[in-house]
Every structure is written in C-alpha cells, then in structure tokens.
Amino acid sequence: MEIAAKLEILADAAKYDASCASSGAIRKTAPGGIGNSTGIGICHSYTPDGRCVSLLKILLTNYCVYDCKFCVNRISSDTRRARFTPEEIISLTLDFYRRNYIEGLFLSSGIIQSPDYTMEQLVAVARELRTEHRFNGYIHLKAIPGASPEIMHEAGSWADRLSANVELPTQDDLTKLAPEKQLVTIRRTMSGISSDVERSKEELRAAKKIVSAAGAAPKRVSTKRSTFAPAGQSTQMVVGATETNDATILNLASDLYGTHGLRRIYYSAFSPFPKADSRLPIQAPPLVREHRLYEADWLMRYYGFSAAELTTAAQPNLDLRLDPKLNWALRNREKFPIDINRGTREELLRIPGIGYRTVNRILSIRRYHRMRLEDLKKLRVFLRRAKAFVMTEDFSPEVAELDSVGLERGFVAAPIQLGLFEAQVAAVRGEL
C-alpha cells in the first residue's frame, strides 16, 4: 500500500483519540497569501502560554487484537486496515516538519501482538527521531496499558507527553464493552508514569540545589530531554457509551487528577457507527454534555470546586441548560451576594461570569480603590450573569431577586440555543 493511502486511513482512524485536541481543517492558499493546510493527519494542540502547535496525528496501525465494542478499530470491525513501519512514520514526520506543516508528532496505535510489542514500536519511532535525526519537536506517545515499566520508562525519556486512556469510567463499563481491559491495569500504568515524572522532578531539583550551592555554573543543569515526560500525562474517557452518570465520571476525574497528577482529561462523546454491538446506544449523547463535563473539569482544576459540589444525589447528571458554576450558584443562593471589595479569592472564584484571570485583576485593583460596577464592565465581566451575585461600592442586588424563581428561568438556555450549540460543535468535529 502506498504511503499516501496509509496516511489517509491511519490519520482518519486517529481522529477518535481526543487527547490531542481537534483535527485541522483544509485551507487553500488565499490569493496573495502564503501557506496552506492539507488537513490530513494534522491537528492542533495548545501550549500553556497559548501558542498553537500543529502536530502530525496518526496511528502506527489500526489493527487491534482487542474487541472493544465502542471502538471502530476493534478486531471484529470490517474497517479498512493499514500499518506504518517505524521508518515510514519517521520519514513522514521529518518531511512534514521540513515543509513547516507540523511542529511535532502525536503517535497512537491499535494493540498488535502484545502491549510490550506495540509499545516497543512506538518507542522506536521516538528514539530514532531524537537520537539519529536530532528532532527536538514535540512528541506525544500513547502509553499502552500493560506494557512493562522498563519500556514505559524509555518512552517517557524520549516523549514530551504520554497518555494512557482510561476509556470508560467504571470497571463494570469496561467488562461490558471492553472485556480485555482492566481499570486496575490502566491505573497501574498511570501510576508508573506519575512516579517517574515525580522522580525526574526530584532529581532536577536536587541537581539545581547542588549547582546553586557551588555557585554559578557555566553549563546548564539539565535540558528538556533529560527529564521524564516533561509535559506530563493525560487520558481520555468515552462519554455516553454506557448509562454511567456525570457524578461518577467527575468523581473518577477528581481521583485521577489527585492520585496520578494528570495534566488533562479529555471527554469524548460516543459516536454511533453502522453494525454496532446491540449493547451500544443507537443515538449519540448530546454534544453539550461533553461541553458541560469540560466546564466542570475546569472548575475542579482552577476554581477550587470538588466533584461532589457539581452534582447532587437527586440530579447526578450535569444540567445541560446551565453551566455548572451558574447551576451551583443557583443551588446555593444563601452564599450570595459576594462583596467584590471584601470577598476572598476563593469566594470571588465562585461568582458566575467571573473567570480566574479576572479575579486576579480584581484583587490587584481593589488595593488602590473600592471597585464599582463600572470597573467590572471595564474588566469585561459578563454582568448579565454576574450582576445578581455581586455587591460593589455602588450596587447591591435586591434580596428578592436572588430568591426569585424567575432568576433561574432567565439564565436557562432556550431549546433553539442548545440546538445551535449542537450544530456548531458538530461542524467543528466534521460531523456536518
């Protein structure tokens, strides 16, 4: 099979792995402009400082010995198969990089022969890129659960990030739809990666202390390549393939962040496909559910919310009509209004319509003068959402307004708005 045909098959198969951001679009060079994107196998990821990085996103192979019912590449699927050799991936990566199409590589794979064999193939690509070709671009490797710690350690020595997909939120879900996979095995792999990451950080800190104690050194203490997976690890969960509720998903996410120090958890709405197993749902879950999970995830990571605060026993699923922060505020109206000029950082982060960067600005500004409603407007606070929950020097909401049933009704998105959101997300994902 020609390289171009393999690329078409294996780049398309890689689109289901969401742990590397979304796929790029096809853009032709505009008249008088420069540059274009083929869209084949190129995705976009974002660095902590906001830079967009283009990655070659492909599978080593879409052959797989596992029979995960929700996966299009399962062994029982009749999908068209292909397989790259490590040399072909290396050649593609270098060729695309020299043409300035990409700045890095995202490499995943179906399981062939065994987890160790598959992982060895992925590591071989990263190792040769780094050692033989001195490739310093970004490399993200899929960590195959069950592979030996020695192979995983070498993978992290060459890759910037590793990701072992948890796939489904409970062992019961895995037993039902992915019987060859065990949550304990997946988490053992995550634990090994996090231990190596922490050990590498400790070694780096110790080396810096030695250099600091000895005075200024002419050489750098360490380089990016001397650390283990400097960009950490991430994972992905398929949402909507089973009836597991959002409370269970968020509790698992919170545990994964706390136990394994994950950088990101990606939530991927299940997409039905022809001739699917009868245990799978016929219809896809609302795409807005995936969006709400990302919002809730953000609240846990940056706003100090716990998983238990975002849902209730009576409503274990996130409200599709309201964002989780606003929904929490409406359920806890007795905690509001919060005085912008007196509230703690933790209290300000709980106000709907105010982001964590804006909170930092508020804390800085109020040291010099008492803030008024006009100041919030200048900070581009979403006042339509925040006004009912804040007090300023010149404004205080009516108590009756906070207790009004109409307050919640005013925030609820109309059905047509939800439908528009679904259409927008589907268009971005290439489903329309």
Residue 427 located in a structural domain = no
pLDDT of the residue at 216: 53
Residue 350: how many CB atoms within 10 A of its CB?
23
- pLDDT, block means (10 residues), the chain with 432 residues: 83 72 43 45 54 79 93 89 94 89 89 96 96 89 96 95 94 95 96 94 84 61 62 93 96 96 93 83 91 96 96 95 94 93 97 95 96 95 91 83 65 51 46 36
C-alpha–C-alpha distance, residues 370 and 341, integer Å: 6
Query: Does 211 lie in the same domain as 75?
Result: yes
Residue 411, pLDDT score: 75
Question: In 3D, which of 353, 355, 360, 403 has the Cα closest to residue 383?
Answer: 353
Q: Same domain, yes or no, for 300 and 336?
A: no
Q: Are 307 and 366 found together in one domain?
A: no
Residue 425 placed within a domain? no
Give phi and psi for 142, each to the nearest 5. -75, 130
Q: Which residues contact 142 (CB under 8 A, 6 or more apart)?
A: 17, 107, 108, 109, 122, 162, 163, 164, 165
List CB contacts of 71: < 8 A, sequence separation 6 or more.
Answer: 16, 64, 77, 178
Query: Phi, psi (5° rounding) for residue 89?
Result: -65, -40
* Rg, the chain, Cα only: 24
Model pTM? 0.84
Between the alpha carbon of residue 119 and those of residues 14, 109, 116, the distances in Å are 17, 9, 5
* Residue 420, domain member (yes or no): no
Q: Are residues 269 and 374 in the same domain?
A: no
The parent domain of residue 100 ranges over: 3-27+37-314
**CATH number of the domain within which 301 lies:** 3.20.20.70
Establish if 170 belongs to a structural domain. yes
Rounded Cα gap, residues 264 and 50, in angstroms: 15
310 and 329 fall within a common domain: no
Considering the domain architecture, whether residues 283 and 372 belong to the same structural domain is answered as no
Same domain, 82 and 184: yes
Q: Which two tokens stand for residue 48?
A: 């902590």
Q: Which long-range contacts (CB under 8 A, 24 or more apart) does 81-89 make?
A: 81/9, 82/1, 82/5, 82/6, 82/9, 82/10, 83/6, 83/10, 83/112, 84/6, 84/10, 84/58, 84/59, 84/60, 86/60, 86/121, 86/124, 86/125, 86/128, 88/3, 88/6, 89/58, 89/60, 89/125
Among 273, 295, 314, give the residue marking a domain's end: 314
Q: Which amino acid is at 236?
A: Q
Q: Based on the domain organization, do 220 and 94 belong to the same domain?
A: yes
pLDDT of residue 400: 56
**Residue 211 · residue 138 · CB < 8 Å:** no
Q: Are residues 351 and 204 in the same domain?
A: no
The one-letter amino acid at 110: G
Count: domains in the chain: 2
CA–CA distance, 265 with 267 (Å, rounded to integer): 7
pLDDT at 91: 93
Question: Looking at this protein, which amino acid is placed at residue 238?
Answer: V
Whether residue 130 sits in one domain with residue 253: yes
Residues 245, 387 within the same domain: no
**198 and 328 inside one domain:** no
